[in-house]
Amino acid sequence: MANNGNESVALNGKGGRNGLAKIETHKKHSNGICHDDSGPTVKAQTIDELHFLQKKRSAPTTPIERTQTPFATLSEEQRYRQQLNSISASLASLTREKGPKVVKGDPDRKSETQRVVHDHHITPTIVVSDSALKFTHVLYNLSPAELYEQAIKYEKGSFITSSGALATLSGAKTGRSPSDKRVVKDDHTQNELWWGKGSPNIEMDEHSFMVNRERAVDYLNSLDKVFVNDQFLNWDPENRIKVRIVSARAYHSLFMHNMCIRPNTEELENFGTPDFTIYNAGQFPCNRYTHYMTSSTSIDINLGRREMVILGTQYAGEMKKGLFSVMHYLMPMRHILSLHSGCNVGKDGDVALFFGLSGTGKTTLSTDHNRYLIGDDEHCWSETGVSNIEGGCYAKCIDLSQEKEPDIFNAIRFGTVLENVVFDEHTRQVDYTDKSVTENTRAAYPIEYIPNAVLPCVGPHPKNVILLACDAFGVLPPVSKLNLAQTMYHFISGYTALVAGTEDGIKEPQATFSACFGAAFIMLHPTKYAAMLAEKMQKHGATGWLVNTGWSGGSYGYGSRIKLPYTRKIIDAIHSGSLLNANYKKTEIFGLEIPTEVEGVPSDILEPVNMWLDKKAYKETLLKLAGLFKKNFETFISYKIGKDSKLTEEILAAGPIF
């Protein structure tokens, strides 16, 4: 065999073992080294210095498709000093007036903390007080990877699942505690907010809030380290809100990292003082002897101080929905409508809003492969169009499957928080059907994990407003076209029905009404949001629709649920505009306009009475539901909308008549 001069190859067919060729390789480099992968010795003199070289500094960001402007001219030392002073002010105690000594970095990484303090000559805010002899270490805007490390090391019940998501536990509370939510009633809010019957706003006074605030702040200051997130709400740059979340758990920090809008490096450097601050001391209970307290849990909002305090619950959803309540107050003050809705946009720019309570299919129907997702839950409608309030999605996980909801299923990967799920101890595969911890299992992930999400999450004015109801009584049509007064009536009503198995003790369908499809979070009277919605729909030519995703041919237990493919066909017809050109007929009692034909949907199911074998039972059930609507709306009859009562009369006339 020929030798190429670089290798000496000897083939010994006779003497070689098993008749195989004997191969010898000898690189003939000038330096005599066979494989030269040598390089200069690293400059580091210690392991700590080597670790420092290993890590490159950056800041967490939300991907935004726009050109970035140059960074601020502040030095790193000045920026650190401003951040620490600002955080120290946020952690100020009522009795001490100033915050503790704070320093950035993990106390378990001593060399790193020392480097930060020594290299940048930071002098934290120092005050002689009961906490002056200790530092509160601030873990500031950590990345998901860093928060994984913190959670797995220090928080029992935190594990990496097979998909890469972080599974964690929220403790004894696995859902919100609406009866423990309080809002400070002062000279301003007593006239501005919705109080009394039907309102979610349970009052507390300023003093009781400050007692709880002091308790939360003292608890956070007693810890060796706290997590601080500085982030934004609202993708509309003209109306975004700066929020700061101070928490004790890595799980909470990662949750809010996903759910809020993540600043880019420049925005973080110029963040300044937040517009609203959350103190999450959920691991510590409130004092039940404090005035207005009815349990060891309290979620308190003070709109005057722009602060929120959480005690006695570790359920992360309290932070998300607490901020949503704040936006329901702040945005209308700017003449911007805040909405508890999903939102997507077609390729031609046609925006649709999806309203619906839990179980109606809001998340499923707003996540559409043929359309772009603006957001799944919280939005604003301003003079320029719609914008998502959040930077992530919070999806229910119970019975989740790749076949039914592939986008949500595939979004559960590294960086996603999985709350209270059950998984295989060995493989770490999640069993989404297991309700051992709670039925309210959840996934929180950044919105960019959805492949067809719009970034930035903004869109033009909506063309369609879709109200979703899961009617377990089986008497509402699969789709109805609404006039403006009917849209307001059903928007204020916010109807759906609970079925057996949803909550303990429910044996038959139970109507539930939630004003504006989110009564637990609104701050003003529902009619104010409804009037704003009507004004915007009229101004921009949007059409209202009522879509029933519930039962047909009988109530729950007798009829069958309307097939999801049929509902998708109906939604497609709304998006395309073809449903506007259909022939319509009016139903009795509710006076709803229903189409006689929808492509891909059996015509028989479009009129509910056709599917009931027992026509008498249908009429009785229809009247029963109409009565429930009427009774629920009694709360709003006395409230005048607009300059006169004309609009109020139109809305009342849009309800069931019998």
Indicate the pLDDT class of residue 100, thresholds 50, 70 and 90.
confident
- Nearest-Å Rg of the Cα atoms of the chain is 30
pLDDT at res. 644: 61
Indicate the pLDDT class of residue 97, thresholds 50, 70 and 90.
confident
CA distances from 385 to 50, 350, 467, 559 (A): 51, 11, 19, 41
Contacts of residue 485, Cβ cutoff 8 Å, sequence gap at least 6: 647, 650, 651, 653, 654
Residue 262 in this model has a pLDDT that exceeds 60: yes
Q: Cα angle at 471 between 540 and 337, to 5 degrees? A: 30
User: Taking a C-beta distance cutoff of 8 angstroms, is the pair 432, 441 a contact?
Assistant: yes
Of 227, 217, 264, the closest CA to residue 107 belongs to: 227
Which of the pair, 15 or 432, is modelled with greater confidence?
A: 432
Domains by residue range for the chain, with CATH: 337-381+461-657 (3.90.228.20)
pLDDT at res. 101: 84
Of 470, 490, 476, the closest CA to residue 629 belongs to: 490
Least confident of 150-159, 303-312, 443-452, 493-502: 493-502
Residue 128 in this model has a pLDDT that exceeds 60: no
Q: DSSP 3-state assignment of 327? A: helix
Mean pLDDT in residue range 525-532: 93
**135 forms bridges with which residues in the sheet?**
101
Half-sphere exposure of 342 toward its Cβ, with a 13 Å CA cutoff?
26
Least confident of 34-43, 369-378, 558-567, 575-584: 34-43
pLDDT at res. 314: 96
Residue 1 in this model has a pLDDT that exceeds 50: no
Indicate the pLDDT class of residue 13, thresholds 50, 70 and 90.
very low
Place of tokens 């009781």: 208
Residue 467 in this model has a pLDDT that exceeds 80: yes
CA atoms of 419 and 178, how far apart (whole Å) = 19
Which of the pair, 119 or 607, is modelled with greater confidence?
A: 607
pLDDT at res. 123: 43
pLDDT at res. 635: 84
Q: Which of 75-84, 429-438, 499-508 has the highest mean pLDDT?
A: 429-438
User: Taking a C-beta distance cutoff of 8 angstroms, is the pair 647, 531 a contact?
Assistant: yes
pLDDT at res. 343: 97
Q: DSSP 3-state assignment of 131? A: coil
Mean pLDDT in residue range 298-323: 97
Q: What is the mean pLDDT of the chain?
A: 87
Contacts of residue 423, Cβ cutoff 8 Å, sequence gap at least 6: 159, 161, 162, 167, 429, 430, 431
Of 355, 535, 362, 348, the closest CA to residue 460 belongs to: 348
Place of tokens 């010994």: 12
- 125 Ramachandran zone, left/alpha/beta (phi>0; psi -120 to 50): beta
pLDDT at res. 74: 63
Indicate the pLDDT class of residue 234, thresholds 50, 70 and 90.
very high
Q: Identify the H or E element spanning 255.
A: helix 250-259
How does pLDDT run across 347-390, given as a tens digit for each residue? 999 999 999 998 898 888 988 889 999 999 999 999 999 999 99
Percent of residues, the chain, with pLDDT higher than 90: 71
CA atoms of 517 and 227, how far apart (whole Å) = 33
Least confident of 109-118, 278-287, 403-412, 518-527: 109-118
Residue 598 in this model has a pLDDT that exceeds 70: yes
Place of tokens 């930035």: 456
Q: DSSP 3-state assignment of 512? A: strand
Q: DSSP 3-state assignment of 226? A: strand
Mean pLDDT in residue range 84-109: 86
Indicate the pLDDT class of residue 80, thresholds 50, 70 and 90.
confident
User: Taking a C-beta distance cutoff of 8 angstroms, is the pair 60, 141 a contact?
Assistant: yes
User: Taking a C-beta distance cutoff of 8 angstroms, is the pair 287, 293 a contact?
Assistant: yes
Structure-token pair, residue 280: 């999450």
pLDDT at res. 49: 72
Q: DSSP 3-state assignment of 573? A: helix
DSSP-assigned letter for residue 558: T
Residue 410 in this model has a pLDDT that exceeds 90: yes
Residue 152 in this model has a pLDDT that exceeds 80: yes
What's the distance, CA 479 to chain centroid?
28
Indicate the pLDDT class of residue 651, thresholds 50, 70 and 90.
confident
Indicate the pLDDT class of residue 544, thresholds 50, 70 and 90.
very high
Instruction: Tell me phi and psi for residue 187, to 5 degrees.
Output: -60, -30
Residue 121 in this model has a pLDDT that exceeds 60: no
Q: DSSP 3-state assignment of 511? A: strand
Residue 430 in this model has a pLDDT that exceeds 70: yes
DSSP-assigned letter for residue 601: B
Least confident of 125-134, 142-151, 282-291, 296-305: 125-134
Mean pLDDT in residue range 524-548: 96
Contacts of residue 561, Cβ cutoff 8 Å, sequence gap at least 6: 549, 550, 551, 552
What's the distance, CA 627 to chain centroid?
35
Half-sphere exposure of 606 toward its Cβ, with a 13 Å CA cutoff?
21
Cβ density class 323-340: b for 16+ within 10 Å, e for less: bbbbbbbbbbeeebbbbb
Least confident of 134-143, 183-192, 280-289, 616-625: 134-143
CA atoms of 281 and 217, how far apart (whole Å) = 8
Structure-token pair, residue 364: 């499923």
Of 380, 312, 331, 311, the closest CA to residue 351 belongs to: 380
Indicate the pLDDT class of residue 649, thresholds 50, 70 and 90.
confident
Which of the pair, 60 or 97, is modelled with greater confidence?
A: 97
How does pLDDT run across 189-218, given as a tens digit for each residue? 999 999 988 899 999 999 999 999 999 999
**Residues carrying an active site annotation:** 176, 321, 340, 358, 362-363, 377, 442
What's the distance, CA 74 to chain centroid?
33
pLDDT at res. 71: 42
CA atoms of 606 and 600, how far apart (whole Å) = 12
Mean pLDDT in residue range 469-474: 96
Whether omega for the bond prior to residue 456 falls within 30 degrees of 0, making it cis, is yes
Structure-token pair, residue 47: 């392991």
pLDDT at res. 2: 43
Beta strands in 264-410 (DSSP E): 276-281, 298-302, 307-311, 337-340, 342-345, 351-355, 372-375, 378-382, 385-388, 392-396
Indicate the pLDDT class of residue 52, thresholds 50, 70 and 90.
low
Indicate the pLDDT class of residue 37, thresholds 50, 70 and 90.
low
Residue 503 in this model has a pLDDT that exceeds 70: no
Residue 397 in this model has a pLDDT that exceeds 80: yes
